[in-house]
C-alpha cells in the first residue's frame, strides 16, 4: 500500500468500530435493546471481533494466516447477524400488518438460524489448511446478505412513498445504513469480478468508507427523535398492504 494511503486505511479500519461503541450507548440510553436485540448483538460482536483482530495484528505486525482465518470466520458470523438485523427491521416497519409480519418472520427466522449455524460452523470447524476455502465461503455468505440488504432498501423506498412508512424512524435509518453499505460493496465487487483482482487498495478503501457512512447514518437516526408517519386520508390504491394483509389472514384461517 502506498504510504500516503496508510493513514486513511487505519482511520477507516479503526474509526467505525470506535463509533460502534457510541451506537451501543445510544441503544442503552434510549432503551432500544428490546426493540433491536439483533442490532445490539451485531454491534457488540463487531467491536469484539475488531478488538481480537487488531490485537492480533499488533502482535505479529502483519495479516498472516491466523489473522485471515479469524477474519473469514468473523465475516461469516457477522453476515448472519446482519441478516438478523434485516429481520428486525422488517418486523418493526410492518408491525401494523400482522399477517404480513408473521409470514415474513417465519421465513426470516428459519433462514437466520441456518445462517448463524453456518457462520459458527465455519468459524470453529474449518481447518487451518483451508483458509482460502473459508474466505470464499465467508465472502459468498456476505454477498448473499448484501443482496438482501439492497432489496430491503429498495422496498423501503417504494413502501415509504405509497404506504406512508416513516422515513424518520429508527428502523428506516438502520435499513438505510445497511442498504447504502451493501450497494457500494456489491458494486465494488462486481467491478473487481469484471476487471480482475489487482493490488490496488482503492476498492477495499471504498468499501471501508461505505461502512463508515453506514455507522454514521445509524448514529444520526438513533440520536434524533423518532417520528411516526401520518396516515393518508385518501383511499389507498388496490395494491396496498392492507389488502395483502387481509388475503394472508384469510389463507392462514383456512
Domain annotation covers residue 217? yes
Predicted confidence at residue 166, as pLDDT, reads 65
Backbone φ, ψ for residue 61 (5° rounding): 75, 10
Position with higher pLDDT, 233 vs 10:
10
Predicted confidence at residue 77, as pLDDT, reads 84
Q: Which of 49-63, 147-161, 183-197 is predicted with the least confidence, judged by mean pLDDT?
A: 147-161
Mean pLDDT for 217-222 is: 94
Predicted confidence at residue 178, as pLDDT, reads 86
* pLDDT-based confidence at residue 128 (cuts at 50, 70, 90): very low
Whether the per-residue pLDDT at 219 is higher than 50: the answer is: yes
Predicted confidence (pLDDT) per residue in 186-199, tens digit: 888 777 766 655 55
Q: Dihedral (C-alpha) 111, 114, 119, 125: value to the nearest 10 degrees?
A: -170
Counted domains in the chain: 1
Predicted confidence at residue 187, as pLDDT, reads 85
Domain annotation covers residue 252? no
pTM: 0.74
What whole-number percentage of the chain has pLDDT above 70? 60
Residue among 22, 60, 4, 3 nearest 212 (CA): 22
What sign does the dihedral 88-93-94-95 (CA atoms) show? positive
Residue among 5, 48, 2 nearest 24 (CA): 48
Residue bearing cell 422488517: 90
Residue bearing cell 487505519: 10
Position with higher pLDDT, 67 vs 3:
67
Domain annotation covers residue 254? no
The set of cell numbers assigned to 237 is 390504491
Q: Dihedral (C-alpha) 29, 31, 36, 42: value to the nearest 10 degrees?
A: 30
What sign does the dihedral 211-212-215-221 (CA atoms) show? negative
Whether the per-residue pLDDT at 226 is higher than 90: the answer is: no
The set of cell numbers assigned to 226 is 423518532
105 contact partners, CB below 8 Å, separation of at least 6 = 87, 90, 91
Q: Dihedral (C-alpha) 160, 166, 171, 172: value to the nearest 10 degrees?
A: 50
Predicted confidence (pLDDT) per residue in 34-55, tens digit: 889 999 999 999 999 999 999 9
What sign does the dihedral 122-38-109-176 (CA atoms) show? negative
Domain annotation covers residue 208? yes
* pLDDT-based confidence at residue 72 (cuts at 50, 70, 90): confident
The set of cell numbers assigned to 216 is 454514521
On average, the pLDDT of the chain sits at: 75
Residue bearing cell 450507548: 25
Domain annotation covers residue 11? yes
Domain annotation covers residue 82? yes
Q: CATH number, domain at 152? A: 1.20.1070
**What's the domain range around 166?**
6-226
Domain annotation covers residue 74? yes
For the chain, what's the residue count? 254
DSSP assignment, residue 129? G
Cβ atoms of 67 and 60 within 8 Å: the answer is yes
Max CA pair span of the chain: 67
Whether the per-residue pLDDT at 202 is higher than 70: the answer is: yes
Position with higher pLDDT, 57 vs 139:
57
Residue among 54, 61, 64, 55 nearest 128 (CA): 64
Domain annotation covers residue 57? yes
Amino acid at each position: 500500500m502506498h504510504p500516503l494511503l496508510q493513514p486513511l486505511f487505519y482511520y477507516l479500519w479503526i474509526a467505525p468500530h470506535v463509533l460502534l461503541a457510541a451506537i451501543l450507548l445510544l441503544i442503552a440510553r434510549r432503551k432500544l435493546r428490546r426493540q433491536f436485540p439483533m442490532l445490539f448483538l451485531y454491534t457488540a460482536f463487531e467491536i469484539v471481533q475488531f478488538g481480537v483482530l487488531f490485537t492480533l495484528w499488533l502482535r505479529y505486525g502483519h495479516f498472516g494466516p491466523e489473522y485471515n482465518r479469524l477474519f473469514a470466520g468473523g465475516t461469516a458470523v457477522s453476515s448472519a447477524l446482519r441478516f438478523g438485523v434485516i429481520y428486525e427491521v422488517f418486523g418493526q416497519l410492518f408491525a401494523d400488518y400482522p399477517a404480513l409480519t408473521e409470514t415474513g418472520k417465519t421465513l426470516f427466522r428459519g433462514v437466520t438460524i441456518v445462517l448463524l449455524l453456518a457462520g459458527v460452523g465455519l468459524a470453529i470447524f474449518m481447518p487451518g489448511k483451508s483458509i482460502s476455502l473459508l474466505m470464499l465461503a465467508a465472502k459468498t455468505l456476505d454477498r448473499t446478505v448484501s443482496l438482501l440488504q439492497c432489496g430491503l432498501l429498495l422496498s423501503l423506498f417504494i413502501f415509504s412513498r405509497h404506504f406512508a412508512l416513516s422515513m424518520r424512524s429508527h428502523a428506516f435509518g438502520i435499513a438505510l445504513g445497511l442498504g447504502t453499505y451493501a450497494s457500494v460493496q456489491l458494486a465494488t465487487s462486481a467491478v473487481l469480478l469484471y476487471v480482475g483482482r489487482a493490488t490496488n487498495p482503492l476498492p477495499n478503501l471504498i468499501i471501508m468508507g461505505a461502512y463508515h457512512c453506514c455507522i454514521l447514518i445509524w448514529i444520526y437516526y438513533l440520536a434524533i427523535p423518532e417520528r411516526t408517519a401520518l396516515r393518508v386520508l385518501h383511499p389507498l390504491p388496490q395494491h396496498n398492504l392492507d389488502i395483502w394483509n387481509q388475503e394472508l389472514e384469510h389463507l392462514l384461517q383456512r
